[in-house]
Structure 1
Amino acid sequence: MPGEGDRRIRMTSGASGSAAIVLGHSGDPAGERALEVATDLAARLHAHLHVVHAIDLADYPADPDAADWEQQGRRALAAEHGRVRAALAGRDVAWSHHAWHGDPVTLLETVAGEEDALMIVVGTRGEGVGSVLDRLLRRSVSHGLIATGGRPVLVVPGAGRG
């Protein structure tokens, strides 16, 4: 669950759908591909798409001593929301964008539970040496969601992988 001191940002566009799909989104290619697939799925099912972004240090500039560090972080989060809004513009999908600090697995499960989501959609970093090293440094969100067994998880391969 999000911590008591965490700020949760939720921005909504469009009418509510009768069903819900939750998407774990990041600005990397895997996140963008997952957004494409989840948007298509939400449109086909007439479902409300809940785009969830876990805010972490990657959303902030590298220099924490910068005088405008917090402002740069807010601008980066606004740009994240803008990318989602642009990707969904003109699509016949009701959607919400959620962003707050915390463990991505917990955040996705929280929103999925609140919205009684049909499923959670996430991208994958793929396989290979780079991916294995990345998993050593950061927890695999898809593996974490599958391990909890709370609800179905759709893992979207990157572009060109099928």
Structure 2
Amino acid sequence: MTDSTSTPSDEASQNAALQKAVIVGMQPDQDRHVIDEAVRFARLLGAPLVVAHVDVTRFVTYEDPDGYVHSAPIDINFVAGVAEFEAVQASAASLLDGTGLTWTARQLVGDPALAIKQLANKLDASLIVVGTRKRGIGESIREFFTGSVAARLTHRQHRSVLVVPLGESVPDSQKEIWPETV
């Protein structure tokens, strides 16, 4: 089951049904291992799963007293964020349909750590699951300026955060953890 929250009353009723959910942060083309771990913990906890994608090309303009978030694009070309969410929804559907889990996809906006934290508060989430970042100099530079989403989540709220490693681990003999890959 997927949804794209459109009205404040819809969101409030959906949030009530998703209390104690496991939230998994997801990006297009993300390693399947992250969502597999989220599914495993949702089953263990008997909780619904919320697949959260954060559109960093939009920012929160204001929030209604009932929690409905209004946003605006940073750039006039906001089609990229819509396309990313559609890709995340399609990927989640292919991975989750047939699992028997109750799940939904949510599009969040702004800073990923703060947006996921706010959603976790609304749902009184049981667990937040995120993946580590991809290796490479570009990702290292991005993390230098924005910080690690996983680290910021663990320091800014009280819920447990499961950080799932992506891809193959770096061997102990390799000195440089994030070499530039071509």
> Normalising to structure 2: TM-score of the pair?
0.65
Residue 125 of structure 1 deviates from its aligned partner by 1.4
Number of the residue aligned with 2:180: none
Report the AA paired with residue 112 of structure 2: P
Residue 126 of structure 1 deviates from its aligned partner by 6.0
Taking the TM superposition and a 5 Å limit, the aligned residue runs for 1:98-109 are 98-109=106-117
Report the AA paired with residue 47 of structure 1: A
Q: Deviations over 1:76-116 (max 9, x none)?
A: 43222111111111112111111032111111111111111
Cα distance in 1 for residues equivalent to 2:96 and 2:36: 9
Please, which runs of 5 or more residues in structure 1 have no aligned partner?
1-7, 58-63
Cα distance in 2 for residues equivalent to 1:149 and 1:18: 17
Instruction: Choose the corresponding residue for 1:9, options 4, 9, 13.
Output: 4
Q: Does 1:84 align with 2:79?
A: no
- 4+ runs of 1 displaced by more than 2 Å? 8-12, 16-19, 69-77, 126-134, 159-162
- RCO higher in structure (CA 8 A, sep ≥6): 1
Number of the residue aligned with 1:26: 27
Number of the residue aligned with 2:126: 118
Residue 71 of structure 1 deviates from its aligned partner by 5.0
Contact 1:145 1:153 (C-alpha < 8 Å) held by counterparts: yes
Number of the residue aligned with 1:156: 164
Cα distance in 2 for residues equivalent to 1:48 and 1:147: 25
Cα distance in 2 for residues equivalent to 1:23 and 1:139: 19
Tell me the matched-pair count.
144
Structure with larger Rg: 2
Instruction: Choose the corresponding residue for 1:145, options 146, 149, 153.
Output: 153
Report the AA paired with residue 150 of structure 1: H
Contact 2:130 2:161 (C-alpha < 8 Å) held by counterparts: yes
Number of the residue aligned with 2:38: 38
> Normalising to structure 1: TM-score of the pair?
0.72
Contact 2:131 2:165 (C-alpha < 8 Å) held by counterparts: yes
